[in-house]
Amino acid sequence: MATRRGPPKPAGQRREESRSRGPKKKSVAMQMGSPPSWTWGDRLVGVHCSTAGGLVTGIARGAALGCTAIQLFTKNNNRWLAPPLAGEEIRAFLTAWTDSPIRFIMAHAGYLINLASPDQKITEQSMESMRTEILRAEMLKIPFLVIHPGSHKGTSEGLGIRYITDRLNILLDESTFSNTRILFEGTAGQGQCIGHRFEHLRDLLAGVRDIDRVGICLDTAHLFAAGYDFRTASTYAAMWEQFEAIVGLKWLYALHLNDTTRELGARVDRHSHIGEGMLGARAFGFLMRDERLHHLPMVCETPKGKTDVEDRTNLEKLYRMTQR
Ligand SMILES: [Zn+2]
Ligand SMILES: [Zn+2]
C-alpha cells in the first residue's frame, strides 16, 4: 500500500535545493523564527498549518518550522462550500510544495460535515461538502483527507455507522478519479459522536466497499478522552494490542499528536501542548520511539499563539524524544 509522497517533481529538481521565495511566502516566513536546528530525516513530522493568506502560505509556515509533514484545511473549515480552485492557485501550491522540505501533506475536512446525520438537509449539504473536499484534495495532489466520522444525533451508533458508510460508498463511487485516501479520525466521543471506540473504526472500515481508499487516523488527545490510557509501558502496549486485535495496525495511516487538558475517559476534546497536559511527555516518548509507527505522518494540532513559538516548542520536544 504505497502512499504518494509529495507532488510529482519536475525532472532534475532536487527537493532540498532552491526554496523559492515568492513575496507572499517571504512575508509569512519572515514572521517566523530562524529554521530549527533539528532535522527529521526520514520521519514525517509536523503541525497543522494555517492557510490564512492563501493555501500556499500553509507550506511556507510548515517549511519555516522544518516540518516534513503538515496538515491543512483546503477551504474554510466552518463553511460547506468553497469557490473552485484557480489553476494558478493549484500551480503555486504544487510548486511551493516541491520546493519545500515538506514531503507529506494531509487535508482535514471541514467541521460542518456530518455523514451520520439523520436529517436530510444536513446530509445533502454534507455530501456536497465532501464532494468539494475530495475534488480539492485531488487537484492539490494531497494523499490523505481526514474526516470526523460524524454524530448520530440520537438515532444509534449502529445506524450512524451505516449512514456514514452508505454515504461514503456513494462518494467513493462518484470519485473514481480520486487518488486521495479518506481517513476516519478516532474521536473523543463528545456528545453523540461516532468513532471513540476501536469497534466503531472497525465497523466503519468494514462497511466501505472500496477498502483501498480508506484508513484510520488516530488522535492522541481523542484516544485518552475516549478512555484509552497509554501513559505507562504496559498500558501503551495493551492499547496497541487492542487496536491490532480489533482494527489492525495496517489500517492506521496517520497520527495527530496532541496532549489534552482533560482526564482519562472525559469524552471531551481539549487539546494542549505536548507533555503539558494529562497525557504527559512519557506517553509521547513511547509513540515517537515506536518503530511500528515510524513511517506514519504525525502532526500536532496544538493551540496556536501569535507567533510559531508554540509549534516550534512542541516539535522540538517531539524531536528530543526520538533522540533518547
Ligand atoms: Zn480532526
Ligand atoms: Zn485530530
Per residue in 115-154, pLDDT (tens digit) is: 999 999 999 999 999 999 999 999 999 999 999 999 999 9
CA dist., res. 33 & res. 78, Å (int): 30
The ligand placed nearest to the CA atom of residue 301 is 2
Q: Using a pLDDT cut of 90, give the percent of the chain over it.
A: 88
The beta-strand segments (E) located in the chain are 45-47, 69-72, 104-108, 144-147, 150-151, 181-185, 193-194, 214-219, 252-257, 259-260, 271-272, 298-300
In the reported structure, the alpha carbon of residue 242 is separated from the centroid of ligand 1 by a whole-number distance in angstroms of 22
Question: For residue 109, which ligand has an atom nearest its CA?
Answer: 1
Q: How confident is the model at residue 16 (pLDDT cuts 50, 70, 90)?
A: very low
**Amino acid making up residue 162:** R
SS3 state at 310 = helix
The count of C-alpha atoms lying within 13 angstroms of the C-alpha of 261, restricted to the half-sphere facing its C-beta, is: 7
Q: Using 50, 70 and 90 to split pLDDT, how confident is the model at 324?
A: confident
Which numbered ligand comes closest to the C-alpha of 256?
2
CA of 217 to the centre of ligand 2 (A): 8
Tens digits of per-residue pLDDT, 139-195?
Answer: 999 999 999 999 999 999 999 999 999 999 999 999 999 999 999 999 999 999 999
Mean pLDDT calculated for residue range 310-320: 97
The Cα–Cα gap between 104 and 298 comes to 10
Domains along the chain with CATH numbers: 110-323 (3.20.20.150)
- C-alpha angle 7-250-258 in degrees, rounded to nearest 5: 75
| Model confidence band, residue 111 (pLDDT cutoffs 50, 70, 90) | very high
Distance from residue 146's CA to the centre of ligand 1 (Å): 7
Ligand 2 centre distance from Cα of residue 185 (Å)? 7
Give the distance (Å) from ligand 1 centre to CA of residue 193.
Answer: 12
Four-CA torsion 197, 199, 202, 203, nearest 10 degrees: -110
- One-letter amino acid identity for 318? L
The DSSP code for 48 is B
User: Is the pLDDT confidence value at 233 over 80?
Assistant: yes
Name, in order, each residue with C-beta under 8 angstroms of 73's C-beta and a sequence gap of 6 or more.
51, 107, 108, 110
Q: Is 126 exposed, middle or buried (0-12, 13-18, 19+ CB in 10 A)?
A: buried
25-64 pLDDT, tens digit per residue, is 445 544 566 778 899 999 999 999 999 999 999 999 999 9
- Give residue 185 CA to ligand 1 midpoint distance, Å: 6
Q: Cα of 148 to ligand 1 centre, how many Å?
A: 6
What stretch of H or E contains 223? helix 220-225
- Gap from CA of 301 to ligand 2 centroid (Å): 6
Separation CA 75–CA 132 (nearest Å)? 9
Q: Say if residue 308's pLDDT is above 60.
A: yes
Q: What residues contact 146, with CB distance under 8 A and at least 6 apart? A: 71, 106, 107, 108, 109, 183, 185, 217, 254
Half-sphere exposure (Cβ direction) of 156: Cα atoms closer than 13 Å: 3
| pLDDT at residue 322 in the model | 96
Q: With contact defined as beta carbons under 8 Å apart, do 105 and 137 qualify?
A: no
Question: Hey, how many other C-beta atoms are within 10 angstroms of the C-beta on 197?
Answer: 17
